[in-house]
Amino acid sequence: MPARAILTGFCLAVTVLFAVMLVEMMIPIGKKADFSLICSEYLSKMEYLNGLPETEKQQLRQKLEAAGFRGIVIAGTASAPKGSMLTLSVQVTCSRQDVVGLFIRNARETRMCYEKSTVARKIYN
Protein backbone atom coordinates (compact mmCIF):
# COMPACT_ATOMS: atom_id res chain seq x y z
CA MET A 1 0.00 0.00 0.00
CA PRO A 2 2.78 2.55 0.75
CA ALA A 3 4.33 1.81 -2.64
CA ARG A 4 1.08 2.75 -4.34
CA ALA A 5 0.96 6.11 -2.50
CA ILE A 6 4.56 6.85 -3.45
CA LEU A 7 3.91 5.97 -7.10
CA THR A 8 0.74 8.11 -7.13
CA GLY A 9 2.65 11.06 -5.62
CA PHE A 10 5.43 10.70 -8.16
CA CYS A 11 2.98 10.53 -11.08
CA LEU A 12 1.16 13.59 -9.73
CA ALA A 13 4.43 15.54 -9.44
CA VAL A 14 5.46 14.63 -12.99
CA THR A 15 2.02 15.60 -14.33
CA VAL A 16 2.13 18.98 -12.57
CA LEU A 17 5.68 19.60 -13.85
CA PHE A 18 4.59 18.74 -17.39
CA ALA A 19 1.60 21.10 -17.14
CA VAL A 20 3.81 23.94 -15.84
CA MET A 21 6.29 23.40 -18.68
CA LEU A 22 3.47 23.53 -21.26
CA VAL A 23 2.13 26.77 -19.82
CA GLU A 24 5.61 28.30 -19.73
CA MET A 25 6.19 27.35 -23.37
CA MET A 26 3.21 29.56 -24.29
CA ILE A 27 4.59 32.66 -22.53
CA PRO A 28 7.10 33.58 -25.30
CA ILE A 29 4.36 33.23 -27.90
CA GLY A 30 2.24 35.74 -25.98
CA LYS A 31 5.18 38.13 -25.56
CA LYS A 32 5.94 37.96 -29.29
CA ALA A 33 2.27 38.65 -30.09
CA ASP A 34 2.30 41.69 -27.77
CA PHE A 35 5.53 42.92 -29.36
CA SER A 36 4.21 42.52 -32.91
CA LEU A 37 0.93 44.23 -32.01
CA ILE A 38 2.70 47.27 -30.55
CA CYS A 39 5.04 47.53 -33.55
CA SER A 40 2.27 47.14 -36.12
CA GLU A 41 0.34 49.93 -34.36
CA TYR A 42 3.33 52.24 -34.79
CA LEU A 43 3.80 51.14 -38.40
CA SER A 44 0.23 52.28 -39.05
CA LYS A 45 1.05 55.59 -37.36
CA MET A 46 4.12 55.89 -39.59
CA GLU A 47 1.95 55.34 -42.63
CA TYR A 48 -0.45 58.07 -41.50
CA LEU A 49 2.28 60.54 -40.43
CA ASN A 50 4.58 59.78 -43.41
CA GLY A 51 7.42 58.77 -41.11
CA LEU A 52 8.38 58.14 -37.50
CA PRO A 53 9.06 61.44 -35.70
CA GLU A 54 11.32 61.44 -32.65
CA THR A 55 8.35 61.91 -30.29
CA GLU A 56 6.65 58.78 -31.67
CA LYS A 57 9.91 56.87 -31.41
CA GLN A 58 10.18 57.78 -27.71
CA GLN A 59 6.55 56.76 -27.13
CA LEU A 60 7.24 53.41 -28.82
CA ARG A 61 10.28 52.90 -26.60
CA GLN A 62 8.26 53.73 -23.47
CA LYS A 63 5.45 51.39 -24.50
CA LEU A 64 7.90 48.53 -25.10
CA GLU A 65 9.65 49.16 -21.77
CA ALA A 66 6.26 49.14 -20.01
CA ALA A 67 5.56 45.75 -21.63
CA GLY A 68 8.76 44.36 -20.07
CA PHE A 69 11.20 44.49 -22.98
CA ARG A 70 14.83 45.65 -22.68
CA GLY A 71 17.69 46.40 -25.05
CA ILE A 72 15.40 48.24 -27.42
CA VAL A 73 16.83 49.29 -30.78
CA ILE A 74 14.47 51.26 -33.05
CA ALA A 75 15.23 52.24 -36.64
CA GLY A 76 12.58 53.81 -38.80
CA THR A 77 12.20 56.21 -41.68
CA ALA A 78 12.01 59.66 -40.05
CA SER A 79 10.09 61.32 -42.89
CA ALA A 80 9.24 60.40 -46.45
CA PRO A 81 7.20 61.88 -49.27
CA LYS A 82 3.96 60.20 -50.22
CA GLY A 83 4.50 57.18 -52.43
CA SER A 84 7.87 56.20 -51.01
CA MET A 85 8.71 53.22 -48.79
CA LEU A 86 8.61 53.44 -44.99
CA THR A 87 10.51 50.86 -42.97
CA LEU A 88 10.21 50.10 -39.27
CA SER A 89 12.81 47.88 -37.66
CA VAL A 90 12.64 47.13 -33.92
CA GLN A 91 14.79 44.72 -31.93
CA VAL A 92 14.21 43.91 -28.26
CA THR A 93 15.46 41.50 -25.63
CA CYS A 94 13.14 39.68 -23.28
CA SER A 95 14.39 37.69 -20.29
CA ARG A 96 12.49 34.82 -18.72
CA GLN A 97 12.96 31.83 -16.46
CA ASP A 98 12.63 28.34 -18.00
CA VAL A 99 12.01 25.08 -16.21
CA VAL A 100 14.84 22.74 -17.20
CA GLY A 101 14.34 19.97 -14.71
CA LEU A 102 12.49 19.01 -11.59
CA PHE A 103 12.56 22.20 -9.46
CA ILE A 104 15.39 23.68 -11.58
CA ARG A 105 14.98 27.03 -13.39
CA ASN A 106 17.36 28.63 -15.84
CA ALA A 107 17.48 32.27 -17.01
CA ARG A 108 17.14 32.75 -20.76
CA GLU A 109 17.42 35.82 -22.96
CA THR A 110 15.20 35.89 -26.05
CA ARG A 111 15.84 38.31 -28.90
CA MET A 112 12.81 39.42 -30.91
CA CYS A 113 12.87 41.35 -34.19
CA TYR A 114 10.19 43.19 -36.13
CA GLU A 115 10.94 44.51 -39.59
CA LYS A 116 8.18 45.62 -41.95
CA SER A 117 7.81 48.07 -44.80
CA THR A 118 4.84 49.99 -46.15
CA VAL A 119 4.17 52.81 -48.55
CA ALA A 120 3.57 56.37 -47.32
CA ARG A 121 0.17 57.47 -48.49
CA LYS A 122 -2.63 59.84 -47.66
CA ILE A 123 -5.43 58.17 -45.72
CA TYR A 124 -8.95 59.50 -46.08
CA ASN A 125 -11.40 58.92 -43.26
Residue 36: band (very low, low, confident or very high) from pLDDT cuts 50, 70, 90: very high
Closest CA to 37 of 59, 64, 61: 64
- Higher confidence at residue 22 or residue 61? 61
Q: What percent of the chain has pLDDT over 70?
A: 94
Q: What are phi and psi of 3, to 5 degrees?
A: -65, -35
Look at residue 123 and tell me whether its pLDDT is greater than 70.
Answer: no
Look at residue 30 and tell me whether its pLDDT is greater than 80.
Answer: yes
Supply the Cα-derived Rg of the chain in whole angstroms. 22
Closest CA to 69 of 88, 92, 91: 92
Look at residue 124 and tell me whether its pLDDT is greater than 70.
Answer: no
At 71-118, the pLDDT tens digits run 999 998 888 888 788 899 999 998 888 777 667 778 888 899 999 988
